[in-house]
Chain A
Amino acid sequence: MDFQTFLQQFVNALSLGSLYALIAIGYTMVYGILRLINFAHGDIFMVGGYLAFYGVSTFLMPWWLAVIVAIALTTIFGVGLERVAYRPLRDSPRISIMISAIGASFLLENLAIVLFDARPKAFHVPEFFATNFILGGVHIASVSLVIPVVTAVILAVLLWVVHSTRVGMAMRAVSTDIEAARLMAIDVDRIVSITFAIGSALAAIGGIMYALKYPRLEPLMGIMPGLKCFIAAVIGGIGSIGGAVLGGLLLGIIELMTVAFLPELTGYKDAFAFVLLIVVLLVKPTGLLGKNQGEKV
């Protein structure tokens, strides 16, 4: 393995990791506020990809317009999902709300099979993203550069929103103690909606970029990335945005590097994330950057 091959793999891993990070942020924000694994997050990611596809292929929009419309619609969709499936159960036992999340994910997948057709669709990649260029002997598709840049920009904006705006302060308050936040006159429902809006928008962006990287859409395409990104969020420390990014990058790098250096393990690729998850849960259940929340009696 020479240095060039290593660099090549590293660039690939970095873009995959950034993609994971983007989706993991959505999980971590929703979990931070509602203590809910949003099982449907991966399916929202799938919806984002399909909407962009239909924008370009059926409604003949220019790709940038299709992307904006897809993100907007997916955001509305995510907020609507929270209204319908999660809000009525907010005071129910956690198992109920988790079953509701699983049911929502199940429903979205089956609806997608009916509405979008089970056969895979080829995603049209605009030329701008498909161009390859060679940098120091390393082949880079421009989409592999776009993904980390987009993730970095979004991360910066998000950190600013969470730490320096009133909405962000309210989010942190709700995530610390939902009842106390309500007593401080914070409109909890509104904050939850905003969180879902941000998470769904990120999922849509992730879905579109995933489709640019692997241009093939399937109704069940959200399941595996969804699970892996949740795992990334847990590894980084769930509830922490920086942790989600760290976990996503780590997972992307481990996954691609292991396959690159130990090709005989390729078949086990999908199991890495789960093994890593279980190790982290056993050794440091709060994740790498997570805070210990203590057990409430």
Chain B
Amino acid sequence: MNPGLINTGKKLPMSRNQMLTFAAACIGLALLFVFDATFDSFTMQIFKLCAINIILALSLNLINGFTGLFSLGHAGFMAVGAYTCAILTMSPEQKEVNYVLQPIVPWLAHVQLPFLPGLLIGGFLAGFIGWLLGVISLRLRDDYLAIATLGFSEIIRVLLTNAQTVTNGALGLKGLPRFTTMWWAWGSAILITVFLVFLIKSSYGRAFKSIRDNEIAAESMGVDVFGMKVLSFTISSFLAGIAGGLLAHYLTTIDPKQFIFLKTFDILLIVVLGGVGSITGSVIAAIAVTISMEALRFLDGPLNLGFVATTGIPGLRMVFFSALLMVVVIYRQQGLMGKAEFSWDALARIGLLPRRGPKSGKGGR
């Protein structure tokens, strides 16, 4: 329920929650301007990566958390988005530099699109492939679906490695323009977050969640289970493709090895830590994990704990994160947020905001 509807008796143009949201949005926008002006380039790189990881985590959470389908194919869809966007936006001169072993196929050699169309086409292609694979594989459930989607993602990677005249094979693509500015990254992340919040609240979102909670009950209530699964899978692939395109022009070099299925596990880590089925959780966890991945880089270097000193163990950082994943799955399965979402009323309940009058107690569930 929109709390604004309940408070109409007060004749306010906006409910308190709407005002708070509006204020938060303004502060957020102002912060982005401040960050854009003050961050040095290293901090800015991490800040942008936060946004890309938010998109990835949200898109994986849509399919795993909200629709209850365990898909492990995200790395593949990212790869499709990244490669499509990179090839479409690369200048013909740069293509000549890149394709040294075999020249690129003629129909792609002179294509050069601006970033937005490239990004969108990459997303749509990833979505289309997601739709196709969804139609094929969504009859499977649970672990079979997981292994089939993982298989698709590996097939995509093998195809990318071998399609020398289109993707430049194992050499990868270098010297992509640095299109992913802070505004692109955070703009897309915010847009996609808002889209997902509305999607989850809509009848589609309720259908997704009903499939997650009980597929048979959902079907008997008239939910088109298969169609909804395919829809969720397609949207999720589309978003992964967009994130892939952003990532390509953030890193400025891509090669097929980056999109090995272990990449999906990195995203899964974020989703599980944040809470499987919580948008708020994914956003917070994406930011926290991205920053701590950088902050904990010292673990890989020389350590001196007073009683033991090491001379740098590369990989210790990832041991920490994988151990964290295990601990969370075993001791706190709901992650940070469980299925809960952020709301102003929740803040009021835990005492961070003054409570509202008893009249409005029903709002914002």
B243 within 8 A of A: no
A107 within 8 A of B: yes
Contact between B329 and A278, CB atoms less than 8 A apart: no
Measured CA separation A109–B147 after assembly (Å): 19
Contact between A114 and B322, CB atoms less than 8 A apart: no
Measured CA separation A36–B142 after assembly (Å): 10
Contact between A103 and B329, CB atoms less than 8 A apart: yes
Interface size class of B (residues with CB under 8 A): 35 or more
Q: Which of B21-29, B155-163, B226-234, B347-355 contacts A (4 or more CB under 8 A)?
A: B155-163
Measured CA separation A103–B323 after assembly (Å): 8
Q: Which of B118-134 contact A (CB under 8 A)?
A: none
Residue in A88, A94, A277 whose CB lies within 8 Å of B151: A277
Measured CA separation A98–B143 after assembly (Å): 8
B154 within 8 A of A: yes
B159 contacts across to A, CB distance below 8 A: 268, 271
Contact between B148 and A95, CB atoms less than 8 A apart: no
B146 within 8 A of A: yes
Which residue of chain B has the shortest Cβ distance to A112 in the bound complex? Answer: B315
Q: Which of A178-195 contact B (CB under 8 A)?
A: none
Contact between A107 and B151, CB atoms less than 8 A apart: no
Measured CA separation A113–B152 after assembly (Å): 27
Measured CA separation A203–B318 after assembly (Å): 25
Contact between A100 and B329, CB atoms less than 8 A apart: yes
Contact between A277 and B148, CB atoms less than 8 A apart: yes
Contact between B150 and A107, CB atoms less than 8 A apart: no
Residue in B137, B144, B154, B326 whose CB lies within 8 Å of A270: B154
Measured CA separation A234–B151 after assembly (Å): 13
Q: Mark interface residues in B99-112 (1 if CB within 8 Å of A CB, else 0).
A: 00000000000000
A138 within 8 A of B: no
B19 within 8 A of A: no
Residue in A36, A84, A230, A297 whose CB lies within 8 Å of B147: A230
- Closest CB of chain B to A104's CB: distance in Å? 6
Contact between B64 and A95, CB atoms less than 8 A apart: yes
Residue in B70, B142, B161, B330 whose CB lies within 8 Å of A89: B330
Measured CA separation A246–B245 after assembly (Å): 42
Contact between B70 and A107, CB atoms less than 8 A apart: no
Q: Which of B295-333 contact A (CB under 8 A)?
A: 313-316, 318-319, 321-323, 325-326, 329-330, 333
Contact between B146 and A281, CB atoms less than 8 A apart: no
Known: A85-B330, A89-B330. A278 touches B315 (CB 8 A): no
Q: Mark interface residues in A88-100 (1 if CB within 8 Å of B CB, else 0).
A: 1100101110111
Q: Which of A191-239 contact B (CB under 8 A)?
A: 223, 227, 230-231, 234
Which residue of chain A has the shortest Cβ distance to B140 in the bound complex? Answer: A281
Q: Which of B219-271 contact A (CB under 8 A)?
A: 262, 265, 268-269
Measured CA separation A265–B62 after assembly (Å): 36
B87 within 8 A of A: no
Known: A89-B330, A103-B326, A114-B319. A98 touches B70 (CB 8 A): yes
A85 contacts across to B, CB distance below 8 A: 326, 330
Q: Which of B69-83 contact A (CB under 8 A)?
A: 70
The residue among A99, A113, A268, A278 with the most chain B CB atoms within 10 A of its own CB is A99
Contact between B142 and A110, CB atoms less than 8 A apart: no
Which residue of chain B has the shortest Cβ distance to A282 in the bound complex? Answer: B136
A100 contacts across to B, CB distance below 8 A: 326, 329-330
Residue in B143, B152, B326 whose CB lies within 8 Å of A274: B152
Q: Which of A245-297 contact B (CB under 8 A)?
A: 267-268, 270-271, 273-275, 277-278, 281-282, 285, 297
Which residue of chain A has the shortest Cβ distance to B161 in the bound complex? Answer: A267
A63 within 8 A of B: no
Contact between B316 and A96, CB atoms less than 8 A apart: no
A118 within 8 A of B: yes
A104 contacts across to B, CB distance below 8 A: 326
Contact between B147 and A231, CB atoms less than 8 A apart: yes
A125 within 8 A of B: no
B151 contacts across to A, CB distance below 8 A: 231, 273-275, 277-278
A76 within 8 A of B: no
A111 within 8 A of B: yes
B276 within 8 A of A: yes
A37 within 8 A of B: yes
A36 contacts across to B, CB distance below 8 A: 143
- Closest CB of chain B to A12's CB: distance in Å? 22
B288 within 8 A of A: no
Measured CA separation A9–B95 after assembly (Å): 41
- Other contacts beyond A94-B143, A230-B147: 12, CB < 8 A: A36-B143, A95-B142, A106-B325, A114-B319, A267-B158, A268-B159, A271-B155, A271-B158, A274-B151, A277-B151, A278-B148, A285-B140
Supply 28 A–B pairs (Cβ within 8 Å), ascending by A: A35-B143, A36-B143, A84-B330, A89-B329, A89-B330, A92-B333, A94-B143, A95-B142, A98-B142, A99-B268, A100-B329, A102-B265, A103-B325, A107-B319, A109-B322, A110-B315, A110-B318, A114-B316, A118-B315, A223-B262, A230-B147, A234-B144, A267-B161, A268-B162, A271-B155, A275-B151, A278-B151, A297-B216
Instruction: Please give me the 10 A-B residue pairs with the lowest Cβ-Cβ distance, nearest first.
Output: A274-B151, A107-B322, A113-B315, A271-B158, A106-B322, A103-B325, A110-B318, A267-B162, A103-B326, A110-B319
A contact residues vs B (CB 8 Å cutoff): 35-37, 84-85, 88-89, 92, 94-96, 98-100, 102-104, 106-107, 109-111, 113-114, 118, 223, 227, 230-231, 234, 267-268, 270-271, 273-275, 277-278, 281-282, 285, 297
